Structure 1
Amino acid sequence: ADAVAPLLAAFPAAIAAPSDPAADNAGFVWHRLLHGRSVDAHVLATAFGAAVADDAEGFVAALGIADPPAVVEVLKRWLRWVDDLALDPRSDSGASPYWNPQRLEYGFALASEGVQPELRLEAEEYVDGRLDWDDFVVASVLQPGQAVAGAAAIDWRPGRPPMPAMARYPGMPADRYWEFEDGRLNFGAMGAAKSDLARLALLEYALVFGNDWYLLPVTLPVNALYRVAEFFVRDNFGIEVPIPPARNLDGSQWTMFEMSVRAAAAPRARLDDCLFLCPALHAHEGPALEHVVLMRDEMANLAWAIEKRVQGTSGDPLDRRFESTRLSTTQTLRVPLGAVPAPGAPLQHTLQTPVAANWIPFLPVKRAGATPANWSIQLQRGVVVQHLQVDAARLAEPRNAEIAAVVERLRAAPFVEAKPEQAGLQGFMFHPRGEILRTTPADAASLFTTDFLRLEDEEVPRDGVEVRRAFNYARDASGRALLWIGRSKNTGRGEGASGLRFDLVRRAGGGG
């Protein structure tokens, strides 16, 4: 208890007050309750972790704690608990170094341990949180005559021959006559045109060859590469029949259940018959801390990223749609009391219709290094500029109090860039508030200057995509608990419309 006050004085938790307490109510509550009243565990773990190898007791004594050895032992146990629970707990904030913001997906590689030559397995499009052998591509370049496993290869044989079991799937035809089949899936009722080759192949496999597949249960250690060296079938008479690898009708190797190999990783025959047995890691994903929807807008000829949820000042998620309504730029200042309004024009011209503050545009730009012979584009994050009347005298009138409050919220918002005031008008540029749409989340100063994310054009299809950030909790093969913040990408809900229009002319009084 005597160490709490010195630690609190040296490492106070700073929870900033939100610029709009009504939109970020959780941030306002946490700021009032815990700002400067609790210990910042992240900063303490970073500082104490660096002092453990040097002089832990001196570090604690410098804080003014009376019994350094006892406190050091407690802090060491706490630091081990943090290291065991959270992955990279003292790393800088922001995305994982394996996250590719241009592709909105993870990319990483695994290398074989103790094997010469080294074998690399690359996963460049990891987005759904479920990793399996088919997510990897063999990317090593082997010299002719070199084996994949090398000196570390282990010849493993099962202790007893496994008993085959027929592979089952929903809607599988019955094995015998007069047996009721599963009515939840009826392959016979599925239609297919002549061009639906994938559907025709699936129907033929399910109805004609579905009972030709068997499962052989074999228990193997995970995190290893395996190759079937030989395969024998022993029938009821004790006769062993060797089964060679399956081949196509033209004699080429059949590669349906084999790992993909890069073209540069030759020779193919020495790599593609390997199978990587991934450890099963089933993570529990919490509610989204950040939720972004990317979609196409054909009417505006743009792509949009809609921030639905982002983290507030306390770290809890907040609804950006509610915040956007409090940053509305659709109001106009009322005419001062007693003033005679000027006669209106028969036509009213609108330069640009307003767009919600949480809608971030992505504009097509030429890819760096593109040539006329190889033309390609990317989608670069832009901003929507909205203008408001900010005449000080008219904002001070009671009738314009709501508009004055909106202007103050816009000027105080950390993600809104205010342009210089000109002739009673001021422009406000809306930047993303969350981390998904930024390349350097930890660097807030670059948001208005150099942080302009570029996405590959094919990463925003017509169906759109949804990207989420959330806490993930899982246990590894040894039972150790793991906690991290991960990102996932799923298919969106199609195209949308922002309502953005330029040079809009209407008749005075609401006519078209």
Structure 2
Amino acid sequence: MVQLSDKMRATPDLLKAVFRIPTITAYNRLEARPRTENFERSLRAEVRDALWFLTRQWQMGELESEDAGSAIDARIITHQLHVDRIALKDAKGRLYNEAMPMETLVEREPVRFSQVLRIQTAQYFLQLHSPAFKAKYFPRYFAVYKLEAGKEDDYRGQIEGLNFYLSTLKRGLNGEQMLADMQAGSFKAKFTIDGGDEGMLDEYIADFLAWFARQYSQPVQDDFAWDSRKLSYKFSVAAPNGQQTQLILRSENYNGDNLDWFDFDVDLSSRQLPVDAPDYIPVLEEDVPVSFIPTATVFKGMPAQRFWEMEERQLNFGKLNAKTTDHLLLLFAEFGLVYGNDWFVIPYKMAVNTLCEIKGFVVTDVFGDRTLIEAADAGLDNDWQHWSMFNLSNKDHLGSYNRQFFLPSTLIHSLQSDPIEKVNFLRDEMANMVWGVEEVIPDATGKGINGNEAADKTGVQPPPVTPSDAKIRYLLGTTVPENWIPFLPVHKPGSNQDINFQRAAMPKLGVPPKDIIKPKGVMLKEVPTPYFINEEEIPYSGTLVSRAYQRVRWYNGKTFIWVGRYRETGRGEGSSGLAFDAILPA
């Protein structure tokens, strides 16, 4: 602070001269000296002058509605198509509605009968009988549907499964064959039925068939969507888009375990999905106008809009550990910290299996101004510069997108059992091939067991070496565990570079060689020879494919149980140690 004398105050010219002299002024920090220990009123940050706030709003242009008006009304019109048919793999189309989850319809496959399941189905059928009826007809059932003997070799390596098979062989019924005969209508012709018992038996059969259909959801005539060449599910859905046209959505790489909108692509070809329902009237497209009141977005840890508000600290954005390539996490952090209070929520309910496209979106603010909201990818930019979320890609048209959002009737959560079968497809660069390693195989008890422990060790040992005076010996080839199934590279027809992997077989060693080693699971032997897998489906990281039971309770209260598959990233390359034409010390 500059001190002025009385002479300087009396002389205006001198006052001006003083201020023309450059000076350096230093300030000390000013700190409050509280007179009380109660800071409650200070922390309130009370406002004393409301006119000051109005002045600041006028100064910043907020009274002119320059990027400051709050949304009070939103009006939207949408164009909706309703998906009403589905085709699994290359089969014909069929009608479909949300009475069943789409994952169930796509993933389910025939339930393979284990020894436990054969006994379980037969026991349930017997439980439906009255004691007298059961005592009369059980000997007749047993004479026709007793379990097949001589299957001990099928359970080699399965300790629990073999014990269960031997303990039930002479007293159990083959429920699998009983069920097949009931479905074929030939069950009652296999044994003698006393007069007056046929009506009661028909009631037992109907209850039994209804129980099994309710217990396990299975495809009709073995028609399921698994594509063995691509190791994924393949199916299509369609929505009527006029009297004679349809909008086709294709999913060719669904790996199981949560189906969502991004698993679909729009098929722009002229392919249609006709259904055998002459009396069916499809629900055509419709335009739906709706009006809403927008509400501000609220989330945990959201920065407070007013400086005297304290955040709940339920979400600490400061602990986000994001790298430069974590685009989604960086986008989330910027949304939460910078633009969190600029977003509004407009509730809009959609029916499942619906394709929705926003045709018009107008927002009205508190100043009466109306703004037309366009799509994020609207404009004259090149296709590769467009970016938006929830858009469906057009199949075989790179950079071409569709502005329709698809809400399939899919699951949020399901109960999943331990794998009853797991195959690890891994590359063996030293042997220049791929192995399908059966890490988990289905057991006779209905669960999955360790495939390496259950593998037969008797046929993989080389024959003993004949004693001689030679210092070296010639080895034609080494061997691998029996749960390692080979896939050899073969050229695609008409190509000298592109290859596929074809299933092969290892011989069982012996003098002479006994047989070939066959898979014990379902996935590696369900396709007849030749069995090919596309090369791109087995990268150098490998891939894991598992089968497991799925159970879900749908929103209509119905419970669905099915066997489905899911695919995961593998654990890298492997080495089998397979070698040929080796010279070894004797």
CA distance in 2, matches of 1:327, 1:164: 71
1:121 paired residue number: 249
Counterpart code for 1:432:
P
Equivalent residues of 1:291, 1:310 under 8 A apart:
yes
* C-alpha deviation, 1:285, in angstroms: 1.5
2:163 paired residue number: 29
2:354 paired residue number: 224
Q: Is 2:234 the partner of 1:107?
A: yes
Within a 5 Å distance, the mapping from 1:52-131 to structure 2 comes to 63-64=193-194, 66-88=196-218, 91=221, 97-112=224-239, 116=243, 117-131=245-259
Aligned residues: 431
CA distance in 2, matches of 1:82, 1:201: 46
Counterpart code for 1:155:
D
Equivalent residues of 1:15, 1:313 under 8 A apart:
no
Equivalent residues of 1:14, 1:36 under 8 A apart:
no
Equivalent residues of 2:297, 2:344 under 8 A apart:
yes
| Larger radius of gyration between Structure 1 and Structure 2 | 2
Q: Is 2:338 the partner of 1:260?
A: no
1:447 paired residue number: none
Q: Which of 271, 295, 300 is the aligned partner of 2:426?
A: 295
* C-alpha deviation, 1:240, in angstroms: 4.3
1:408 paired residue number: none
1:244 paired residue number: 374
* C-alpha deviation, 1:313, in angstroms: 4.4
Structure 2 counterpart SS, 1:385: coil
Equivalent residues of 2:426, 2:538 under 8 A apart:
yes
CA distance in 2, matches of 1:62, 1:333: 58
Q: Is 2:291 the partner of 1:156?
A: no
1:407 paired residue number: none
Q: Which of 468, 472, 480 is the aligned partner of 2:550?
A: 472
CA distance in 2, matches of 1:66, 1:318: 47
Question: Structure 1 stretch 201-210 or stretch 273-282: which is displaced more?
Answer: 201-210
Structure 1 counterpart SS, 2:575: coil
CA change 1:219–1:248 in 2 (3 A) is closer
Per-residue CA deviation, residues 102-152 of structure 1 (Å, 9 max, x unaligned), is: 111110111226953122211111113211111111215479xxxxxx972
Structure 1 counterpart SS, 2:349: coil
Counterpart code for 1:97:
F
Q: Is 2:510 the partner of 1:432?
A: no
Structure 2 counterpart SS, 1:83: helix
2:455 paired residue number: 324
* C-alpha deviation, 1:48, in angstroms: 2.8
CA distance in 2, matches of 1:47, 1:205: 59
CA change 1:74–1:248 in 2 (3 A) is same
Per-residue CA deviation, residues 389-415 of structure 1 (Å, 9 max, x unaligned), is: x4xxxxxxxxxxxxxxxxxxxxxxxxx
Question: Structure 1 stretch 304-313 or stretch 160-169: which is displaced more?
Answer: 160-169
CA change 1:431–1:151 in 2 (3 A) is closer
1:285 paired residue number: 416
Counterpart code for 2:334:
L
Structure 2 counterpart SS, 1:30: helix
What is the TM-score of this pair, normalised by structure 2? 0.64
Structure 1 counterpart SS, 2:374: coil
* C-alpha deviation, 1:14, in angstroms: 4.6
Q: Is 2:535 the partner of 1:457?
A: yes
1:409 paired residue number: none
2:495 paired residue number: 371
Q: Is 2:178 the partner of 1:44?
A: yes
CA distance in 2, matches of 1:502, 1:176: 76
Q: Is 2:435 the partner of 1:307?
A: no
Structure 1 counterpart SS, 2:359: coil
Per-residue CA deviation, residues 177-227 of structure 1 (Å, 9 max, x unaligned), is: 78558458745x5454xxxxx546863663366635554332322122222
Structure 1 counterpart SS, 2:380: coil
* C-alpha deviation, 1:494, in angstroms: 0.7
Q: Is 2:364 the partner of 1:234?
A: yes
Equivalent residues of 1:119, 1:138 under 8 A apart:
yes
Question: Structure 1 stretch 173-182 or stretch 22-31: which is displaced more?
Answer: 173-182
Structure 2 counterpart SS, 1:364: strand
CA distance in 2, matches of 1:302, 1:501: 12
CA distance in 2, matches of 1:71, 1:492: 51
RMSD, aligned CA: 3.7
Uncovered stretches (5+) of structure 2, i.e. residues with no partner: 1-129, 272-281
Counterpart code for 1:83:
A
Structure 1 counterpart SS, 2:418: strand
Equivalent residues of 1:141, 1:264 under 8 A apart:
no
Structure 2 counterpart SS, 1:120: strand
Counterpart code for 2:263:
D
CA distance in 1, matches of 2:526, 2:376: 47
Counterpart code for 2:261:
W
Q: Is 2:505 the partner of 1:383?
A: yes
Q: Is 2:580 the partner of 1:505?
A: no
Structure 2 counterpart SS, 1:227: strand
CA distance in 1, matches of 2:149, 2:268: 48
CA change 1:475–1:454 in 2 (3 A) is same
Equivalent residues of 2:426, 2:434 under 8 A apart:
yes
CA change 1:387–1:17 in 2 (3 A) is closer
Per-residue CA deviation, residues 325-353 of structure 1 (Å, 9 max, x unaligned), is: 63353354487xxxxx532x222332222
Structure 2 counterpart SS, 1:294: strand
What is the TM-score of this pair, normalised by structure 1? 0.72
CA distance in 1, matches of 2:369, 2:422: 60
CA distance in 2, matches of 1:502, 1:68: 66
CA distance in 1, matches of 2:508, 2:190: 53
* C-alpha deviation, 1:461, in angstroms: 0.6
Counterpart code for 1:371:
S
Counterpart code for 2:475:
T
Counterpart code for 1:70:
M
Structure 2 counterpart SS, 1:47: helix
CA distance in 2, matches of 1:89, 1:190: 45
Structure 2 counterpart SS, 1:365: strand
* C-alpha deviation, 1:154, in angstroms: 3.0
Structure 2 counterpart SS, 1:156: strand
Structure 2 counterpart SS, 1:291: strand
Equivalent residues of 1:297, 1:497 under 8 A apart:
yes
Equivalent residues of 1:17, 1:313 under 8 A apart:
no
